[in-house]
């Protein structure tokens, strides 16, 4: 049901863990729906210098978190904001249709993390990041 890439990122997730010196944290999803993604970033000079994630969810959720963090690591904030769930899915050689919502979560987690970064700088993130909650069932929870 999953591609080899998905299974690879599921069994050997990249960037998994916590980030001690994080200056942005985002968490989306909730335990009720069975999926939570939490992303930590260390951002310097507008560049995502380091990134880590933790995920409670299915294989697709773990793999998309892993891939999404790979795709934005070392990138600028603007580049990261352009990341779409579609790009993550393509990089994973596709996902089964019922699992597409898990990839949306990865995109949201990145946005929510960047929103947190701006908020910590005293900048209203909404005009820059947009609303990070486009999942109808699970409300995105920005990390406080």
Q: How far apart are CA 139 and CA 141, in angstroms?
A: 6
Q: How far apart are CA 111 and CA 53, in angstroms?
A: 13
Encoding tokens for residue 109? 């987690």
Find the catalytic residue in 58, 102, 131, 135.
102
* Catalytic status, residue 33: yes
**What DSSP element (H or E) covers 119?**
helix 100-120
Give the distance from CA 9 to its chain's centroid.
14
* Catalytic status, residue 133: no
Contacts with ligand FES: how many residues (CB under 6 A)? 8
Give the distance from CA 26 to its chain's centroid.
8
x/- map, 103-142, other proteins, by CB under 8 A = ----------------------------------x-----
Site for ligand FES in 61-120 (CB under 6 A): 61, 99, 102
- Picked from other proteins, ligand FES, none, the partner binding residue 9 (CB below 5 to 8 A depending on kind) is none
Stretch near other proteins under the rule CB under 8 A, chosen from 58-66, 67-75, 83-91, 122-130: 58-66
- Which residues, 6 or more positions from 35, have their beta carbon under 8 angstroms from its beta carbon? 29, 55, 56, 57, 58, 61, 102, 105, 138
60 contacts ligand FES (rule: CB under 6 A): yes
x/- map, 10-39, ligand FES, by CB under 6 A = ------------------------xx----
């Amino acid at each position: 049901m999953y591609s080899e890439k998905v299974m690879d990122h599921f069994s050997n997730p990249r960037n998994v863990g916590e980030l001690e010196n994080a200056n942005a944290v985002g968490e989306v999803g909730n335990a009720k729906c069975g999926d939570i993604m939490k992303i930590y970033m260390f951002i310097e000079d507008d560049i995502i210098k380091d990134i880590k994630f933790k995920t409670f969810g299915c294989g697709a959720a773990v793999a998309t978190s892993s891939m999404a963090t790979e795709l934005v690591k070392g990138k600028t904030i603007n580049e990261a904001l352009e990341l779409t769930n579609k790009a993550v899915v393509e990089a994973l050689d596709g996902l089964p249709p019922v699992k597409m919502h898990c990839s949306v979560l990865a995109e949201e987690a990145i946005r929510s993390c960047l929103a947190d970064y701006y908020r910590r700088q005293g900048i209203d993130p909404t005009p820059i990041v947009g609303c990070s909650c486009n999942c109808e069932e699970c409300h995105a929870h920005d990390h406080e």
